[in-house]
Amino acid sequence: MVAKAAARGLGGTIRRMAQNNKRVGVIGLGSMGIGIAQSLLREGFDVAGADVVEAQRERFRQAGGRAVAQPREAAEGASAVFSVVVNAAQNDAVLFGEGGSAEAMAPGTVFVSCCTVDPAYPPKTAARLAERGVLYLDAPISGGAVKAAAGRLTVMGAGAPEAFAAAEPALAAVAEKVFRIADRPGPGSAVKLINQLLAGVHIAAASEAMALAAKLGLDLPTVYEVITASAGNSWMFENRVPHILEGDYQPRSAVNIFTKDLGIVVDSARANQFPVPIAGAAMQMFLMAAAAGMGRDDDASVVRVYQKLAGIELPTQD
Amino acid sequence: MVAKAAARGLGGTIRRMAQNNKRVGVIGLGSMGIGIAQSLLREGFDVAGADVVEAQRERFRQAGGRAVAQPREAAEGASAVFSVVVNAAQNDAVLFGEGGSAEAMAPGTVFVSCCTVDPAYPPKTAARLAERGVLYLDAPISGGAVKAAAGRLTVMGAGAPEAFAAAEPALAAVAEKVFRIADRPGPGSAVKLINQLLAGVHIAAASEAMALAAKLGLDLPTVYEVITASAGNSWMFENRVPHILEGDYQPRSAVNIFTKDLGIVVDSARANQFPVPIAGAAMQMFLMAAAAGMGRDDDASVVRVYQKLAGIELPTQD
């Protein structure tokens, strides 16, 4: 009880510090990062956004943000630094590489790690940052680019109460729902991994189902209408099948994201000596799509793997 | 246009005939059939329910129904005969076997086939019944036992306008939603097959995901809460994972239903020379559950296959 009260007291102090410091860094201005940065701007934060690509920086400047090239510059003087990069290697680079942010963060600053990583990564990295007094919030996100831009993400948070306290004002600006999954980093990424297993399998299953429907000569919009009102529905079926019905494979989220995320699922399961045959089968479908040159296309492109094999007719844009 | 108007006129005549004849037969008084029969009773129909099992007949008698042993008795004098048996072989038996219903149905009667069958079956069987002037409605159902009992099923209907017209009053008593997928029998079963592909894969994926979550040491109710609010959600995840959280494998719908239905998916796809690797992987998981002696247990038992292999801890009832 005493320890809890003390922690709460410390949390309160940090929260007040954070509330007084409206400077926040966002590293990675891709489709999710730019949305997070814009949501923070909208809520009155002083946001420095870093990206290696000048076009992304320019886009952020035009949205009224302060764009910088190096992670270190985004972190200087910030109370919270969001990392919205693609994977653990990039996360390491923006922290500890040349021009990295770790050295620029003052003690008490919180590093909010949003990317999907193996659950073994956050505790390891949190320990490295703890040496400098920097807090780590394991904070994978869900919701897609539209919700990111609207400040309505879901955060699967895990970390020390002080890390949550320091991140709280900024999180409130970017998320509709912040789950507090554990009081140590790691379980946030583990729950995200479970989510990505399901999401990946559901996209592959939706693709397989719609491809078979086409092969059976069914009217695809009718199939969509019936399934979304039946027990075969999934969030991904409902969200991705319209891309197939419109023949629109412009990437909202790319095939390569799932070769990566199902790769993390399969690797992490194997490291735990645990079989995941369904996720394994789904990963192979995404790999087939990537092998066929669709890696940067929308992830609903898995349906075009079946098309390539079986010559089914699918809707096209025009 | 003339043909359409004539059909509409005929449909109107049949509808009026059907509305005057409140006698309906229900063959198969399992968890779905009994709900359908009770919903019809509730709406004032004179229902004869047939089942080979005396215990099922007794249950129906106690609900106020007229229970008979032979399909033929259920069909006599009825305007519509629902078949709610398990598969195509049983459907053939209740139609054309000893004591079968086909001979007892007067011309203009509609046979409403609710079970999940290969899409090639309905046109074949419809043609046999047409020789006697009996109509055939390809009418697979979705929704589970609770919705069946409440008269709130989804019907994936396909058949001639006259078949729909003859079945309409009875369908209104058992279904909340009647899709008119095509004006010939077959496509209803094809859409149901697509639904079962997705439903089966989603149950297997939910099981795999929750098993991996247990292996990673996550708190399972928390995982359920986060996933049902995230993009990894599915109708089946939301519906079946509570069975896992409660450790309750009393069958709401059994493993054997999915070894059968995914079997139809895989067989039908193979007959069309079409690959379904995700459905194939899911079917193997249901077969593993059946092989391990869980065939009659709830279909969420797939999670216990992973438990059997990897020794994870799952909630138990006590």
ipTM, two decimals, is 0.92
Q: Which region holds residue B304: left if phi is over 0, alpha if psi is between -120 and 50, else beta?
A: alpha
From B306, which residue of chain A is nearest by alpha-carbon distance? A275
Q: How many residues does chain B have?
A: 318
Residue pair B199/A231 in contact by the 8 Å Cβ criterion = yes
B139/B181 Cα distance (integer angstroms): 10
Secondary structure (3-state) at A14 = helix
- Residue that has been written with the tokens 């011309």 in this structure: B107
Q: Which ranges of chain A have pLDDT less than 50?
A: 1-8
Going by C-alpha positions, the residue among B317, B316, B314 that lies closest to residue B212 is: B314
Helix-, strand-, coil-residue percentages of chain A, each rounded to 5: 60, 15, 30
Task: Give per-residue pLDDT as tens, B232-289.
Answer: 999 999 999 999 999 999 999 999 999 999 999 999 999 999 999 999 999 999 999 9
Q: Do A235 and B239 touch (CB under 8 A)?
A: no
Percent of chain A with pLDDT over 70: 94
Is B3 a residue whose pLDDT tops 70? Answer: no
Going by C-alpha positions, the residue among A78, A95, A76, A105 that lies closest to residue A18 is: A78
Contacts of B196 in chain A (CB under 8 A): 232
pLDDT of B318 reads 75
Residue pair A96/A102 in contact by the 8 Å Cβ criterion = yes
Is B21 a residue whose pLDDT tops 90? Answer: no
Model pTM? 0.92
Residue pair B47/B29 in contact by the 8 Å Cβ criterion = no
Mean pLDDT estimate for chain B? 94
Secondary structure (3-state) at A103 = helix
A94-108, A238-252, B20-34, B185-199: which has the minimum mean pLDDT?
Answer: B20-34
Residue pair B156/B115 in contact by the 8 Å Cβ criterion = no
Going by C-alpha positions, the residue among B71, B188, B79, B81 that lies closest to residue B138 is: B188
Residue pair A142/A48 in contact by the 8 Å Cβ criterion = no
Q: What's the Cα-to-Cα distance from A46 to each of A40, A76, A114, A256, A287, rounded to whole Å?
A: 8, 12, 20, 33, 41
pLDDT of A296 reads 97
Q: Do B208 and A282 touch (CB under 8 A)?
A: no
Q: Out of B215, B222, B285, whose CB is closest to A277?
A: B285
Q: Out of A193, A226, A233, whose CB is closest to B179?
A: A226
Q: Do B229 and A156 touch (CB under 8 A)?
A: no
Look up residue A49 and give its two tokens.
């956004």
Which amino acid type is present at position A93? A
pLDDT of B5 reads 40
Task: Give per-residue pLDDT as tens, B282-299.
Answer: 999 999 999 999 999 999
Q: Do B274 and A201 touch (CB under 8 A)?
A: no
Contacts of B222 in chain A (CB under 8 A): 179, 181, 191
Going by C-alpha positions, the residue among A139, A97, A134, A101 that lies closest to residue A117 is: A139
Q: Do A215 and B144 touch (CB under 8 A)?
A: no
Q: Could you give the domains of chain A?
A: 2-184 (3.40.50.720), 190-310 (1.10.1040.10)
Secondary structure (3-state) at A27 = strand
Q: Out of B142, B201, B231, whose CB is closest to A199?
A: B231
From A278, which residue of chain B is nearest by alpha-carbon distance? B281
CA dihedral B36, B38, B43, B47 (to 10 degrees): 90
Contacts of A204 in chain B (CB under 8 A): 278
How far away is chain A from the Cα of B108, in angstroms, using its nearest Cα?
28
- Residue that has been written with the tokens 């059994």 in this structure: B254
Q: Do A209 and B229 touch (CB under 8 A)?
A: no
B95/B27 Cα distance (integer angstroms): 10
pLDDT of B6 reads 43
Contacts of A222 in chain B (CB under 8 A): 179, 181, 191
Going by C-alpha positions, the residue among B95, B115, B111, B119 that lies closest to residue B188 is: B119
Which amino acid type is present at position A239? N
Is B219 a residue whose pLDDT tops 80? Answer: yes
DSSP state for residue A301 in the 8-state scheme: G
Q: Out of B209, B210, B233, whose CB is closest to A235?
A: B233
Q: Are strands B46-50 and B66-68 parallel, antiparallel or unpaired?
A: parallel
Residue pair B135/B110 in contact by the 8 Å Cβ criterion = yes
A261/A87 Cα distance (integer angstroms): 9
How far away is chain B from the Cα of A234, in angstroms, using its nearest Cα?
4
Look up residue B66 and give its two tokens.
């007229």
pLDDT of A9 reads 54
Going by C-alpha positions, the residue among B148, B170, B162, B175 that lies closest to residue B46 is: B170
From B230, which residue of chain A is nearest by alpha-carbon distance? A142
Q: Do A181 and B226 touch (CB under 8 A)?
A: yes
pLDDT of A318 reads 74
Answer yes or no: B192 catalytic.
yes
Contacts of A177 in chain B (CB under 8 A): 229
Q: Do A222 and B179 touch (CB under 8 A)?
A: yes
Contacts of A211 in chain B (CB under 8 A): 274
Contacts of A205 in chain B (CB under 8 A): 197-198, 201-202, 205, 278-279
Percent of chain B with pLDDT over 90: 92
CB pairs under 8 A between A and B: 231
First to last CA, chain B: 66
Three-class DSSP labels, chain B: CHHHHHHHHHHHHHHHHHHHCCEEEEECCCHHHHHHHHHHHHCCCEEEEECCCHHHHHHHHHCCCEEECCHHHHHCCCCEEEECCCCHHHHHHHHHCCCCCHHHCCCCCEEEECCCCCCCHHHHHHHHHHCCCCEEEECCEECHHHHHHHCCEEEEEECCHHHHHHHHHHHHHHEEEEEEEECCCCHHHHHHHHHHHHHHHHHHHHHHHHHHHHHCCCCHHHHHHHHCCCCCCEHHHHHHHHHHHHCCCCCCCEHHHHHHHHHHHHHHHHHCCCCCHHHHHHHHHHHHHHHHHHCCCEHHHHHHHHHHHHCCCCCCCC
Residue pair B294/B304 in contact by the 8 Å Cβ criterion = yes
Q: Out of A177, A194, A281, whose CB is closest to B213?
A: A194
Q: What's the Cα-to-Cα distance from B133 to each of A291, B48, B77, B121, B137, rounded to whole Å?
A: 55, 22, 15, 18, 13
pLDDT of A2 reads 36
Task: Give per-residue pLDDT as tens, B97-141.
Answer: 999 999 999 999 999 999 999 999 999 999 999 999 999 999 999
Q: Do A205 and B202 touch (CB under 8 A)?
A: yes
pLDDT of B42 reads 97
How far away is chain B from the Cα of A162, in angstroms, using its nearest Cα?
21
Catalytically annotated residue among A4, A22, A192, A215: A192
Q: With both helix axes pointing from N to C terminus, report the angle between A255-271 and A277-289 in degrees, rounded to the nearest 10.
A: 150
Q: Do B181 and A222 touch (CB under 8 A)?
A: yes
pLDDT of B16 reads 53
CA dihedral A103, A105, A109, A111 (to 10 degrees): -70
B113/B101 Cα distance (integer angstroms): 12
